[in-house]
Structure 1
Protein backbone atom coordinates (compact mmCIF):
# COMPACT_ATOMS: atom_id res chain seq x y z
CA UNK A 1 0.00 0.00 0.00
CA UNK A 2 1.33 3.40 -0.94
CA UNK A 3 0.79 5.64 2.09
CA UNK A 4 4.21 6.08 3.68
CA UNK A 5 5.61 9.58 3.41
CA UNK A 6 2.18 10.90 2.43
CA UNK A 7 -0.26 13.01 4.40
CA UNK A 8 -2.98 10.63 5.63
CA UNK A 9 -6.49 11.27 6.91
CA UNK A 10 -8.38 8.57 8.78
CA UNK A 11 -12.04 9.60 8.42
CA UNK A 12 -14.45 7.21 10.04
CA UNK A 13 -18.00 6.73 11.28
CA UNK A 14 -18.53 4.48 14.28
CA UNK A 15 -21.42 3.64 16.57
CA UNK A 16 -20.82 3.02 20.25
CA UNK A 17 -23.57 1.63 22.44
CA UNK A 18 -25.68 -1.43 21.79
CA UNK A 19 -24.25 -3.43 18.88
CA UNK A 20 -24.73 -6.87 17.40
CA UNK A 21 -21.69 -9.00 18.25
CA UNK A 22 -21.38 -12.78 17.84
CA UNK A 23 -25.12 -13.32 17.69
CA UNK A 24 -26.05 -11.18 20.68
CA UNK A 25 -26.52 -7.52 21.56
CA UNK A 26 -23.73 -6.05 23.67
CA UNK A 27 -22.91 -2.56 24.91
CA UNK A 28 -19.71 -1.24 23.33
CA UNK A 29 -18.26 1.85 25.05
CA UNK A 30 -16.17 2.42 21.88
CA UNK A 31 -17.48 1.32 18.49
CA UNK A 32 -15.58 -1.30 16.50
CA UNK A 33 -14.78 1.04 13.62
CA UNK A 34 -13.39 3.64 16.00
CA UNK A 35 -11.13 1.01 17.52
CA UNK A 36 -9.87 0.08 14.06
CA UNK A 37 -9.34 3.77 13.23
CA UNK A 38 -7.28 4.21 16.39
CA UNK A 39 -5.09 1.26 15.39
CA UNK A 40 -4.62 2.77 11.93
CA UNK A 41 -3.58 6.07 13.49
CA UNK A 42 -1.02 4.26 15.61
CA UNK A 43 0.47 2.51 12.55
CA UNK A 44 0.26 5.37 10.01
CA UNK A 45 0.47 8.57 12.07
CA UNK A 46 -2.52 9.87 10.09
CA UNK A 47 -4.94 12.50 11.34
CA UNK A 48 -8.20 11.19 12.82
CA UNK A 49 -11.58 12.65 11.92
CA UNK A 50 -14.69 11.10 13.49
CA UNK A 51 -17.69 11.57 11.20
CA UNK A 52 -20.72 12.18 13.43
CA UNK A 53 -24.26 13.15 12.62
CA UNK A 54 -25.88 16.22 14.17
CA UNK A 55 -28.72 13.98 15.37
CA UNK A 56 -27.21 11.43 17.69
CA UNK A 57 -28.23 7.85 17.02
CA UNK A 58 -29.96 6.17 19.96
CA UNK A 59 -28.15 3.66 22.13
CA UNK A 60 -30.74 0.92 21.43
CA UNK A 61 -29.59 -1.42 18.64
CA UNK A 62 -33.05 -2.08 17.15
CA UNK A 63 -33.78 1.66 17.00
CA UNK A 64 -30.50 2.29 15.19
CA UNK A 65 -31.34 -0.46 12.69
CA UNK A 66 -34.75 1.14 12.01
CA UNK A 67 -33.17 4.56 11.47
CA UNK A 68 -30.40 3.15 9.25
CA UNK A 69 -32.96 1.32 7.08
CA UNK A 70 -35.12 4.44 6.76
CA UNK A 71 -32.13 6.63 5.89
CA UNK A 72 -31.06 4.13 3.22
CA UNK A 73 -34.60 3.80 1.79
CA UNK A 74 -34.97 7.60 1.72
CA UNK A 75 -31.50 8.07 0.21
CA UNK A 76 -30.98 10.52 3.09
CA UNK A 77 -27.98 12.74 3.63
CA UNK A 78 -27.81 13.20 7.40
CA UNK A 79 -26.46 16.53 8.57
CA UNK A 80 -23.03 16.16 10.11
CA UNK A 81 -22.25 17.49 13.57
CA UNK A 82 -19.19 19.12 11.99
CA UNK A 83 -17.10 18.54 8.91
CA UNK A 84 -13.42 18.70 8.25
CA UNK A 85 -12.53 22.08 6.72
CA UNK A 86 -10.68 20.64 3.77
CA UNK A 87 -9.09 17.46 2.51
CA UNK A 88 -6.82 19.36 0.11
CA UNK A 89 -3.66 18.70 2.14
CA UNK A 90 -4.24 14.94 2.27
CA UNK A 91 -2.97 12.45 -0.30
CA UNK A 92 -4.47 9.33 1.26
CA UNK A 93 -7.84 8.92 2.93
CA UNK A 94 -8.51 5.85 5.03
CA UNK A 95 -12.32 5.70 5.10
CA UNK A 96 -13.86 3.63 7.91
CA UNK A 97 -17.42 2.57 8.55
CA UNK A 98 -19.59 -0.27 9.82
CA UNK A 99 -21.62 -2.20 7.25
CA UNK A 100 -25.16 -0.92 7.62
CA UNK A 101 -27.85 -2.19 5.26
CA UNK A 102 -25.31 -3.79 2.95
CA UNK A 103 -23.18 -0.67 2.53
CA UNK A 104 -21.90 2.25 4.56
CA UNK A 105 -24.03 4.51 6.78
CA UNK A 106 -25.65 7.40 4.92
CA UNK A 107 -23.53 9.88 6.89
CA UNK A 108 -20.64 8.69 4.70
CA UNK A 109 -22.59 9.80 1.62
CA UNK A 110 -22.84 13.26 3.18
CA UNK A 111 -19.12 13.34 3.98
CA UNK A 112 -18.04 12.07 0.55
CA UNK A 113 -20.30 14.48 -1.33
CA UNK A 114 -18.99 17.42 0.74
CA UNK A 115 -15.44 17.05 -0.61
CA UNK A 116 -13.53 16.77 -3.87
CA UNK A 117 -11.54 13.54 -3.89
CA UNK A 118 -9.86 14.16 -7.25
CA UNK A 119 -6.34 12.68 -7.22
CA UNK A 120 -6.84 11.26 -3.71
CA UNK A 121 -6.44 7.60 -2.87
CA UNK A 122 -9.20 6.15 -0.70
CA UNK A 123 -8.54 2.98 1.27
CA UNK A 124 -11.86 1.78 2.71
CA UNK A 125 -12.00 -0.24 5.92
CA UNK A 126 -15.23 -1.74 7.14
CA UNK A 127 -16.35 -3.50 10.30
CA UNK A 128 -19.10 -6.09 10.04
CA UNK A 129 -20.55 -9.22 11.60
CA UNK A 130 -20.44 -11.44 8.52
CA UNK A 131 -21.52 -9.28 5.60
CA UNK A 132 -18.11 -7.92 4.58
CA UNK A 133 -18.00 -4.67 2.65
CA UNK A 134 -21.34 -5.36 0.93
CA UNK A 135 -21.68 -3.00 -2.03
CA UNK A 136 -19.91 -0.09 -0.31
CA UNK A 137 -16.95 -0.14 -2.72
CA UNK A 138 -19.25 0.40 -5.69
CA UNK A 139 -20.99 3.18 -3.76
CA UNK A 140 -17.70 4.89 -2.91
CA UNK A 141 -16.59 4.69 -6.54
CA UNK A 142 -19.90 6.18 -7.70
CA UNK A 143 -19.62 9.03 -5.16
CA UNK A 144 -15.90 9.69 -5.83
CA UNK A 145 -15.28 8.76 -9.48
CA UNK A 146 -12.12 10.89 -9.73
CA UNK A 147 -10.46 9.25 -6.73
CA UNK A 148 -8.31 6.15 -6.83
CA UNK A 149 -9.94 3.37 -4.84
CA UNK A 150 -7.29 1.29 -3.11
CA UNK A 151 -7.56 -2.15 -1.59
CA UNK A 152 -10.22 -2.42 1.09
CA UNK A 153 -10.17 -4.18 4.43
CA UNK A 154 -13.15 -5.91 6.03
CA UNK A 155 -12.77 -6.56 9.76
CA UNK A 156 -15.06 -8.80 11.75
CA UNK A 157 -16.30 -6.69 14.66
CA UNK A 158 -16.35 -9.73 16.92
CA UNK A 159 -12.57 -10.02 16.65
CA UNK A 160 -11.66 -6.32 16.53
CA UNK A 161 -9.44 -6.66 19.60
CA UNK A 162 -7.22 -8.99 17.57
CA UNK A 163 -7.28 -6.92 14.37
CA UNK A 164 -3.83 -5.34 14.69
CA UNK A 165 -2.14 -8.05 12.60
CA UNK A 166 -4.83 -7.82 9.92
CA UNK A 167 -4.40 -4.05 9.72
CA UNK A 168 -0.61 -4.31 9.58
CA UNK A 169 -0.86 -6.91 6.79
CA UNK A 170 -3.28 -4.69 4.86
CA UNK A 171 -0.92 -1.72 5.18
CA UNK A 172 2.02 -3.82 3.93
CA UNK A 173 0.19 -5.15 0.85
Structure 2
Protein backbone atom coordinates (compact mmCIF):
# COMPACT_ATOMS: atom_id res chain seq x y z
CA UNK A 1 0.00 0.00 0.00
CA UNK A 2 1.38 3.44 -0.88
CA UNK A 3 1.94 6.25 1.60
CA UNK A 4 0.38 9.62 0.90
CA UNK A 5 2.23 12.48 2.59
CA UNK A 6 1.96 16.18 2.03
CA UNK A 7 3.02 19.54 3.35
CA UNK A 8 0.53 22.37 3.10
CA UNK A 9 0.43 25.72 4.85
CA UNK A 10 -3.03 26.99 5.80
CA UNK A 11 -3.44 30.71 6.27
CA UNK A 12 -2.82 33.23 3.52
CA UNK A 13 -1.89 31.88 0.12
CA UNK A 14 -1.93 33.19 -3.42
CA UNK A 15 -5.17 32.79 -5.33
CA UNK A 16 -5.16 34.38 -8.80
CA UNK A 17 -2.01 36.24 -7.77
CA UNK A 18 -3.50 37.82 -4.64
CA UNK A 19 -3.04 36.77 -0.98
CA UNK A 20 -6.21 35.12 0.28
CA UNK A 21 -7.00 33.50 3.64
CA UNK A 22 -7.78 29.76 3.38
CA UNK A 23 -8.81 27.29 6.05
CA UNK A 24 -7.24 24.36 4.24
CA UNK A 25 -4.10 24.70 2.17
CA UNK A 26 -4.30 23.98 -1.54
CA UNK A 27 -1.89 21.06 -1.37
CA UNK A 28 -3.99 19.55 1.44
CA UNK A 29 -7.03 19.72 -0.82
CA UNK A 30 -5.22 17.80 -3.57
CA UNK A 31 -3.96 15.27 -1.00
CA UNK A 32 -7.52 14.69 0.21
CA UNK A 33 -8.62 14.04 -3.39
CA UNK A 34 -5.70 11.64 -3.94
CA UNK A 35 -6.49 9.83 -0.68
CA UNK A 36 -10.02 9.22 -1.91
CA UNK A 37 -8.72 7.84 -5.22
CA UNK A 38 -6.01 5.67 -3.62
CA UNK A 39 -8.13 4.62 -0.64
CA UNK A 40 -5.43 5.69 1.82
CA UNK A 41 -5.25 8.32 4.53
CA UNK A 42 -3.23 11.41 3.78
CA UNK A 43 -0.55 12.22 6.35
CA UNK A 44 0.21 15.89 6.90
CA UNK A 45 3.86 16.77 7.42
CA UNK A 46 3.90 19.20 10.35
CA UNK A 47 6.93 21.28 11.22
CA UNK A 48 7.61 21.56 14.94
CA UNK A 49 7.43 25.35 14.55
CA UNK A 50 4.36 26.19 12.49
CA UNK A 51 4.60 28.58 9.59
CA UNK A 52 2.99 32.00 10.10
CA UNK A 53 -0.48 32.78 8.78
CA UNK A 54 0.63 35.94 6.95
CA UNK A 55 1.68 35.25 3.34
CA UNK A 56 4.57 37.78 3.40
CA UNK A 57 5.84 36.20 6.65
CA UNK A 58 5.65 32.71 5.10
CA UNK A 59 7.61 33.93 2.09
CA UNK A 60 10.25 35.49 4.33
CA UNK A 61 10.70 32.30 6.36
CA UNK A 62 10.70 30.11 3.25
CA UNK A 63 13.36 32.29 1.59
CA UNK A 64 15.58 32.25 4.70
CA UNK A 65 15.22 28.45 4.96
CA UNK A 66 16.06 27.95 1.28
CA UNK A 67 19.00 30.36 1.30
CA UNK A 68 20.49 28.85 4.46
CA UNK A 69 19.53 25.25 3.59
CA UNK A 70 17.65 24.96 6.91
CA UNK A 71 16.07 21.62 7.75
CA UNK A 72 13.01 22.48 9.87
CA UNK A 73 12.29 19.83 12.49
CA UNK A 74 9.19 17.75 11.83
CA UNK A 75 6.61 16.29 14.16
CA UNK A 76 7.24 12.52 14.41
CA UNK A 77 5.81 10.32 11.67
CA UNK A 78 4.51 6.78 11.87
CA UNK A 79 7.26 4.27 11.00
CA UNK A 80 4.90 2.24 8.80
CA UNK A 81 4.23 5.30 6.65
CA UNK A 82 7.95 5.90 6.17
CA UNK A 83 8.57 2.26 5.24
CA UNK A 84 6.03 2.22 2.41
CA UNK A 85 7.76 1.39 -0.89
CA UNK A 86 5.71 3.95 -2.82
CA UNK A 87 5.24 7.55 -1.68
CA UNK A 88 2.80 10.06 -3.08
CA UNK A 89 4.43 13.28 -1.91
CA UNK A 90 2.77 16.69 -2.12
CA UNK A 91 3.98 20.23 -1.50
CA UNK A 92 3.58 23.80 -2.65
CA UNK A 93 6.29 25.22 -4.91
CA UNK A 94 8.22 27.86 -2.99
CA UNK A 95 10.73 29.93 -4.96
CA UNK A 96 10.80 27.21 -7.61
CA UNK A 97 11.76 24.46 -5.13
CA UNK A 98 10.32 22.02 -2.63
CA UNK A 99 9.74 23.55 0.79
CA UNK A 100 12.58 22.75 3.16
CA UNK A 101 10.13 20.62 5.18
CA UNK A 102 10.32 18.13 2.30
CA UNK A 103 14.13 18.25 2.44
CA UNK A 104 13.92 17.35 6.13
CA UNK A 105 11.68 14.39 5.36
CA UNK A 106 13.96 13.04 2.66
CA UNK A 107 17.28 13.58 4.44
CA UNK A 108 16.40 12.72 8.04
CA UNK A 109 14.21 9.65 7.62
CA UNK A 110 16.96 7.35 6.31
CA UNK A 111 15.26 6.95 2.93
CA UNK A 112 15.30 3.50 1.44
CA UNK A 113 14.88 2.81 -2.26
CA UNK A 114 11.33 3.68 -3.18
CA UNK A 115 9.16 5.22 -5.85
CA UNK A 116 8.04 8.82 -5.40
CA UNK A 117 5.04 10.29 -7.18
CA UNK A 118 5.32 14.07 -6.61
CA UNK A 119 2.38 16.44 -6.79
CA UNK A 120 2.62 20.18 -6.27
CA UNK A 121 0.50 23.28 -6.16
CA UNK A 122 1.76 26.49 -7.70
CA UNK A 123 0.59 29.80 -9.12
CA UNK A 124 2.46 29.72 -12.41
CA UNK A 125 5.78 27.90 -11.93
CA UNK A 126 4.57 24.35 -12.57
CA UNK A 127 6.84 21.86 -10.80
CA UNK A 128 9.74 24.34 -10.87
CA UNK A 129 12.98 22.63 -9.83
CA UNK A 130 11.18 20.33 -7.40
CA UNK A 131 11.72 17.07 -9.31
CA UNK A 132 15.47 17.78 -9.48
CA UNK A 133 15.33 18.60 -5.75
CA UNK A 134 13.72 15.23 -5.01
CA UNK A 135 16.28 13.36 -7.10
CA UNK A 136 19.14 15.18 -5.37
CA UNK A 137 17.70 14.65 -1.88
CA UNK A 138 16.75 11.01 -2.43
CA UNK A 139 19.08 9.72 -5.16
CA UNK A 140 18.15 6.04 -4.78
CA UNK A 141 14.44 6.72 -5.36
CA UNK A 142 12.69 6.46 -8.68
CA UNK A 143 10.91 9.78 -9.14
CA UNK A 144 7.90 9.41 -11.42
CA UNK A 145 6.48 12.25 -13.52
CA UNK A 146 4.89 14.81 -11.25
CA UNK A 147 1.50 16.46 -11.16
CA UNK A 148 1.52 20.27 -11.07
CA UNK A 149 -1.80 21.90 -10.16
CA UNK A 150 -2.37 25.63 -10.19
CA UNK A 151 -3.55 26.48 -6.70
CA UNK A 152 -6.41 28.64 -7.92
CA UNK A 153 -7.73 25.62 -9.88
CA UNK A 154 -7.58 23.02 -7.10
CA UNK A 155 -11.38 22.75 -6.94
CA UNK A 156 -11.36 21.54 -10.57
CA UNK A 157 -8.35 19.21 -10.27
CA UNK A 158 -10.16 15.84 -10.27
CA UNK A 159 -9.75 15.12 -14.02
CA UNK A 160 -6.03 15.95 -13.90
CA UNK A 161 -5.57 13.77 -10.80
CA UNK A 162 -7.40 10.84 -12.40
CA UNK A 163 -5.33 11.11 -15.59
CA UNK A 164 -2.06 11.32 -13.61
CA UNK A 165 -2.98 8.27 -11.50
CA UNK A 166 -3.81 6.06 -14.49
CA UNK A 167 -0.24 4.70 -15.02
CA UNK A 168 0.00 3.89 -11.29
CA UNK A 169 -3.28 1.97 -11.35
CA UNK A 170 -2.34 0.21 -14.60
CA UNK A 171 0.95 -0.97 -13.08
CA UNK A 172 -0.70 -1.97 -9.82
CA UNK A 173 -3.37 -4.07 -11.60
CA UNK A 174 -0.67 -5.75 -13.75
CA UNK A 175 1.34 -6.65 -10.62
CA UNK A 176 -1.75 -8.12 -8.93
CA UNK A 177 -2.49 -10.28 -12.00
CA UNK A 178 1.10 -11.57 -12.03
CA UNK A 179 1.01 -12.51 -8.32
CA–CA distance in 2 between the matches of 1:105 and 1:86?
Answer: 23
Q: Distance in 2 between matches of 1:38 and 1:63?
A: 26
- Gaps spanning 5+ residues in structure 1: where? 1-6
Aligned residues of 2:3 and 2:82 also touching (Cα < 8 A) = no
Q: Does 1:70 align with 2:64?
A: yes
| 1:46 alignment partner in structure 2 | 40
For the pair 1:16 / 2:10, whether they are aligned, the reply is yes
**Superposition TM-score, scaled by structure 2 size:** 0.89
Aligned residues: 167
Q: Distance in 2 between matches of 1:74 and 1:9?
A: 29
Give distance in 1, aligned partners of 2:113 and 2:55. 38
Q: Deviations over 1:73-107 (max 9, x none)?
A: 01000011222324464121001000011111101
Distance in 2 between the 1:81 and 1:89 partners? 17
The two structures have a TM-score, normalised by structure 1, of 0.92
Q: In 1, distance between residues paired with 2:88 and 2:159?
A: 17
Partners of 1:22 and 1:158 within 8 A in 2: yes
The CA deviation string for residues 90-132 of structure 1, in whole angstroms up to 9 with x for no partner, is: 1210010000111111010001112344331100000000011
The structure having more radius of gyration, on CA atoms, is: 2
Q: Are 1:8 and 1:45, in contact at CA under 8 Å, matched by a contact in 2? A: no
Please give the secondary structure, in 1, of the residue aligned with 2:148.
strand
Match for residue 142 of structure 2 among 133, 139, 148: 148
1:83 equivalenced with 2:77 (yes/no): yes
Separation in structure 2 between the aligned mates of residue 52 and residue 107 of structure 1, nearest angstrom = 8
| Deviations 1:17-65, CA, capped at 9 Å, x for gaps | 1111102111110000000000000000123211011111111000000
Bigger proportion of residues as helix: 2
Aligned pairs for 1:129-148 within 5 A? 129-148=123-142
- Whether the 8 Å CA contact 1:76–1:106 is kept in 2: the answer is yes
Q: Is the 8 A contact 1:10 1:46 kept in 2?
A: yes
